Structure 1
């Protein structure tokens, strides 16, 4: 009798079980992507050794590291063109075969060229996943858990980096790739049974399938009112569908684009992705007294913990305070890192007593970075653009991200090879100082504001409203 009552109560009040499950199984694709992105950290030191099975130069290694960033541009365009045609779920399922094939290419690659092709395909998968999955989460999740589910992207990003560094530190390149190839298979098997976005199904005029999807996601039998509400929203947005040029011709969209490009640029110009690619090489040159692989695993474990903590703080403290504290702290610890390498390589000063500084500084850097700079720019991307141009905005943002990461990573490699490790760290410090000025003067606070209020701010309507109130 109690079991029957519990089941009846579940059908009436609903259950969010499938929303959590769909997010969890979908997030495996993000873990796969970030494992590929983090792969250079444990693998490049092996590939750059004299007895490497694939002989390569430092320049070859840098191209292998950044190749996914170039592929991501094509993937983002592909995702933007297909996500409203074949669906969010289907796009996510297409990512798994790409990840599986590329791990096999990495495992059995006989040359630098094959590795570059594999890494480029990885970038395509990344662009598709980071276009489709944020939309999928936003459309399947209840408002009271949307923030928590949305933060899973940042958390699983760090988890992917940590996993590949742990696996890659204890296994050969081939074994690491073969072990990693199991994850895309797991993603496909578990995610294929998840419901498609009801929003997309209504866009395709499939109300019966949308109702079935909502029943699963809500854990309720009666979802007719929700179907009617979503149907009205879909019709309204279809009638007011945005165009690509609206990103540039509409003043509020231009302002949003300027803010996003600024914060995303600061995020990458602080060197986070370049440091991620070369973390084991950095720790090896620093001569810190513990193995580079152990130091790197600690580095990514700390990032994972702080990212989880940051996802809780962002709605309590606000975006601007976290960004300001984060960019100041990041610049400070990057400067300390640069000073250590400068004194180590350019002076006769004995820095052996300061061997703790490189690891300590980088750990403090990733802690303070991930409190704000690591999470807020991605969050603001989903907040600042209206729904009718969000797919286009995500596409442009991913392409911009790929370009700037490529440039920063190549800069890191060339400056380190030609001048020394201290040069890129000092350059990243200067970028943080410039970023502080940009954040203070240009970035708005979006905490506790609805999406409509944010659009009013971008259009300048809140100023007009205040003026009327004062009359």
Structure 2
């Protein structure tokens, strides 16, 4: 809800009945402050996920977010909202590092992709909520909704166990065993899985966990290269631009068929449905297939939007085809979330070893934030100075480049344990015993 907040709320703040006086320049800062706050929170995120654990980091992020919804609800001046947006970025950064890490470490490998993708489904539901509620109610009302959801998490999530990987990493084997028993069915033989996790953690503990090892160790270097380029690809497929400026872009398209606020709600619904579909498909069809097909189809949608604005800005009459950008945006919502918008968050939690997980995922999240800022700047500068078509040409070409990179450089991690994935990154061939899903030779 925080991420998609500016799209429906900024028009209200700039309107004549705004509850908080806001200028256009200040409204642009509301977008950038979320990303700047995310970047500034990288250091504390890296520290806390290893110091206090994944579970407590998620709870801390939720508490901060609850306070920020209260500030937004009662803010008398725009400066209060500026502060709330910056801290919301830092809190969101922590959640989007700790939550994927937590899920990857508690999940069985057969459903790890599905469970990890649920994070994005919940994110999209939040965007849908803010799109559907904010344009039609007072500002404090949607703040109550957002605050209530976080409050529910704060009173329920403490009953979940901590990650067994983290507990073994902190030399707490009895607590790790208790955690795994709570996470697995009662008839499950956890001793074998616990021993495998222990072996993996002990091996990974012998590896250095310094910041420079992201570059010096070849397997870590490959992991951070993949995640850096995928995080850049997500934003340079225009997702942040569309989520934060969808109303403005659709109004600029001049469509006479549907209001921008209604189109935004439909856009969010399609993204939720596509993400849910992808979450079921990601462990069946694999990460690479979804990523490649999604990137190509997303790039085609953006190319169509760019060509439409090209024709419109060069004086051609486009009134009879003004439905094209709306249809393209809706197809974009579907194709993006089928792979490009889902697979990277799954891979982020899979590619780094235990010793490097906090550093690697935080750096990857940092590139995610920087890429978001850069994509917003590319959009603002090119559209303001040259025309709305040019940023969409750039974003389209980026998608096609992502498909090529995925095909040649990204390994398939479907059905692999976290330990097997590390061997794959090291270039070590791994075989399974016949009839067994979780044993390596």
Higher deviation after alignment, 185-194 or 415-424: 415-424
Q: CA deviation at 1:431?
A: 2.3
Measure the CA separation in 2 of the matches of 1:106 and 1:415.
32
Moved more, 268-277 or 144-153: 144-153
Mapped partners of 2:398, 2:329: distance in 1: 17
Work out whether residues 62 and 410 of structure 1, in 8 Å CA contact, stay in contact via their aligned partners in 2. no
1:37 to partner: Cα distance: 0.5
What aligned pairs does 1:229-308 form with structure 2 within 5 A after superposition? 229=195, 230-231=197-198, 233-240=200-207, 242-288=209-255, 289-308=257-276
* Matched residue, 1:8: none
1:31-51 Cα distance to aligned partner (Å, 9 max, x none): xxxx10111111111123355
- Shift, 1:416, TM fit: 3.0
Where 2:159 maps in the other structure, the secondary structure is coil
Pair 438,160 (structure 1): closer, same or farther in 2 beyond 3 Å: same
Task: Evaluate the alpha carbon distance shift between residue 448 and residue 91 of structure 1 in structure 2; reply closer, same or farther with a 3 A threshold.
Answer: closer
Q: Which residue of 2 aligns with 1:65?
A: 31
Match status 1:177 vs 2:143: yes
> Cα distance, 1:456 vs. partner?
4.0
2:111 maps to which of 119, 141, 145: 145
Gapped regions of structure 2 (runs ≥ 5) = 431-441
CA distance in 2, matches of 1:178, 1:380: 34
TM superposition score normalised by structure 1: 0.83
Equivalent residue number for residue 89 of structure 1: 55
Shift of 1:345: 3.5
Give the root-mean-square deviation of aligned CA atoms: 2.6
Q: 1 CA distance for matches of 2:273 and 2:188?
A: 39
Determine the structure 2 residue equivalent to 1:390. Answer: 357
Which digits, 9 at most, give the CA deviation of each residue in 1:205-235, with x for residues without a partner?
4444444433432354998836962555544
Structure 1: which 5+ residue stretches go unaligned?
Answer: 1-34, 464-471
Q: Which structure 2 residues correspond to residues 303-342 of structure 1 after superposition, within 5 A? A: 303-342=271-310
SS, match of residue 315 in structure 1: coil
The alpha-carbon deviation at position 238 of structure 1 amounts to: 3.4
> What do the CA deviations read for 1:424-470 (whole angstroms, capped 9, x no partner)?
2222123224334433443344445554554444334459xxxxxxx
The CA distance in 2 between the partners of 1:411 and 1:401, in whole Å, is 15
Find the aligned partners of 2:217 and 2:108 in 1 and give their Cα distance: 30
Matched with 2:156 is 190
Alignment partner of 1:413 is 2:380: yes
Aligned mate of 1:358, from 300, 316, 325: 325
Quick one: which of 334, 339, 344 aligns to 1:372? 339
Structure with greater Cα Rg: 1
When structure 1 is superposed on structure 2, of 434-443 and 40-49 the one drifting more is: 434-443
2:75 equivalent among 109, 123, 126: 109
CA gap of 1:321–1:96, structure 2 versus 1, over 3 A, is: closer
TM-score (norm 2): 0.88
Seen in structure 2, the aligned counterparts of structure 1 residues 191 and 319 have a Cα distance that, compared at 3 Å, is closer
- Residue 297 of structure 1 and its aligned partner are, at CA, apart by 0.6
Provide closer, same or farther for how the CA distance between residues 45 and 419 of structure 1 changes in structure 2, counting only shifts above 3 A. farther
Residues 144, 444 of structure 1: alpha-carbon distance in 2 compared, 3 angstrom cutoff: closer
1:125 maps to which residue? 91
Alignment partners' CA distance in 2, 1:222 and 1:91:
29
- In the superposition, relative to structure 1, how do residues 355 and 416 fare at CA in structure 2: closer, same or farther (>3 Å)? same
Q: How many residues in Structure 1 have an aligned counterpart in Structure 2?
A: 428
Cα shift readout 1:167-191 (whole Å, capped 9, x = no counterpart): 1122122322233211111110111
Tell me if structure 2 keeps the 8 A contact 1:75–1:126: no
Give yes or no for contact 1:327–1:369 (8 Å, CA) kept in 2: yes
Tell me the distance in 1 between the aligned counterparts of 2:410 and 2:108.
28
Kept in 1, the 8 Å contact 2:109–2:416? The answer is: no
1:126-182 CA distances to partner (integer Å, 9 max, x unpaired)?
121122212222232334433322221121121111111111122122322233211
CA distance in 2, matches of 1:431, 1:206: 45
Distance 1:61 1:231, change over 3 A: same
CA distance in 1, matches of 2:377, 2:171: 47
Q: 1:238 to 1:427 in 2, by over 3 A?
A: closer
Asked if 2 retains the 8 angstrom alpha-carbon contact of 1:215 and 1:223, the reply is: no
